[in-house]
Amino acid sequence: MEEELAAGELAESVEGPKNLSDSAEGYIPVQWTRKKIALAVAVGVVVAALFLGCAAALYLHTLDLALTGGMDAAQQDDLAKALQPPKPKAAAPDAPAKEVDEPASSAYYVAILGCDARPNETIARSDVTMLARVDTETGAVHLVSVPRDMMVEIEGHGTQKINAALAFGGPAGAVRALSAFAGVPITHYVELRFEQLVELVDRLGGVTVDVPEGFTSDTSGITLAAGTQTLNGEEALAFARERHAVSSGDFSRAAAQRAIISAIADKVLASPPTEMPSLVGSLAACVTTDYTVAELADTALALKDTGVTVYSAACPSYSFGEGGISYVGTMYDEWRAMMQRVDAGLDPADESAEIPEPQASDEDLGAATNARSPRDYSGRIDQAGFKDN
């Protein structure tokens, strides 16, 4: 026995717990070897890890449910059918033909809708229609606004404004309308709730934006001066909403909304990793999306590693009236050229940029197949809205 002890099989004796069948006078000591102790510790660690893992999985699942909570099961199913995978990665012009499918591009498109239901309102208005292109490999993020009054055809409902797509067809209808207008597959959907953005912005310690012109909001009474400044949640909301007290109405508001979204993204990506879980929780309170928490985390980490360059633009357009209704019309040639630059990862405002062959030959890009404004708009340019930021 001593030889076995010396060999390390049993370094010390440890009395185990009393056997419940023992008499009051005593109990039989149980000898535990180090191997047994190590095994017991290992089992305990595994059990704890499994417990924590299950708790973490449950927490993530709860957040995932919160992210999709603005949609019922039927809407989620319809949206899943409307969303499409990213386009294959463009091959070089002189690359040999391949028999297998090309890998998916690192870039994909996101439909961003904004619903601005104010207090005591039961119906949310789709005040924001935005297309985002996210490239996790290069860090380029393009935000392109499409005016909410853009004249389009909505299947089954005739000529409408593009923001009616959400009301008629839900998230899936909005995705299909924007995809047809831009000529790109849309992979993800994000719906913002403006009221809840206040809490997120305050949670981030405010966001820094450049306010192009000063104004006083008739709705909130908030006054903002022109210039770069850090806005709290209420101020950011006022900036993103204002269209009456600014010079270009909806076009100015669209530019402000892009600035707020970009500023929020900057703050989130600059936050320490330890704060990410609570930030995701705050984010879940103000968005409805098909993204999972894991997908959001992967995207954030990828962009954090590469560094982010945000490009901001608006669909080239003009205002006009028809049948007593005010619409926004598409400047088709300019829109097609802009979408070619966006899809190539270029600055959408750089009209001198050379368009790569894959984008130049893609007839779908910016085709606006569902647009119903006049194809001849040469006499309406003086009514044009923002072509870029």
Which of residues 101 and 116 earns the better pLDDT score?
116
**143 pLDDT band (50/70/90 cuts)?**
very high
CA atoms of 368 and 378, how far apart (whole Å): 17
**10 pLDDT band (50/70/90 cuts)?**
very low
Measured in whole angstroms, the distance separating CA 140 from the mean position of its chain's CA atoms is 14
The pLDDT value recorded for residue 26 is 42
Which of residues 271 and 360 earns the better pLDDT score?
360
CA atoms of 245 and 248, how far apart (whole Å): 9
Burial of 210 (0-12, 13-18, 19+ CB in 10 A): exposed
Which of residues 247 and 4 earns the better pLDDT score?
247
Share of the chain above pLDDT 90, in %: 57
Q: Which of 54-68, 186-200, 201-215, 257-271 has the highest mean pLDDT?
A: 201-215
Pairing relation of β-strands 215-216 and 188-193?
Answer: unpaired
DSSP track, 112-135: EEEE---TT--S--EEEEEEEEEE
Which of residues 56 and 268 earns the better pLDDT score?
268
**Model confidence over 318-360: pLDDT tens digits?**
999 999 999 999 999 999 999 999 999 999 999 999 999 999 9
Fold of 68-87+103-383: Aminopeptidase (3.40.630)
The pLDDT value recorded for residue 51 is 45
Does the pLDDT at position 122 exceed 50? Answer: no
CB within 8 Å of 301: residues ≥ 6 apart: none
21-35, 160-174, 199-213, 348-362: least confidently modelled range: 21-35
- Asked if 309 and 345 touch (Cβ cutoff 8 Å), the reply is no
How much of the chain is helix, strand and coil, in % rounded to 5?
Answer: 40, 20, 40
**87 pLDDT band (50/70/90 cuts)?**
confident
**197 pLDDT band (50/70/90 cuts)?**
confident
The pLDDT value recorded for residue 102 is 55
19-23, 242-246, 258-262, 307-311: least confidently modelled range: 19-23
The pLDDT value recorded for residue 386 is 47
The pLDDT value recorded for residue 116 is 62
State the pTM of this model. Answer: 0.80
Residue with tokens 């006054």: 223
The pLDDT value recorded for residue 126 is 74
Does the pLDDT at position 89 exceed 80? Answer: no
The pLDDT value recorded for residue 60 is 57
The pLDDT value recorded for residue 12 is 38
What angle is formed at CA 369 by the lines to CA 363 and CA 371, rounded to 5 degrees? 135
Nearest to 386 by CA among 126, 145, 127: 145
The pLDDT value recorded for residue 54 is 52
Q: What mean pLDDT is reported for the chain?
A: 82
The pLDDT value recorded for residue 127 is 84
Does the pLDDT at position 206 exceed 90? Answer: yes
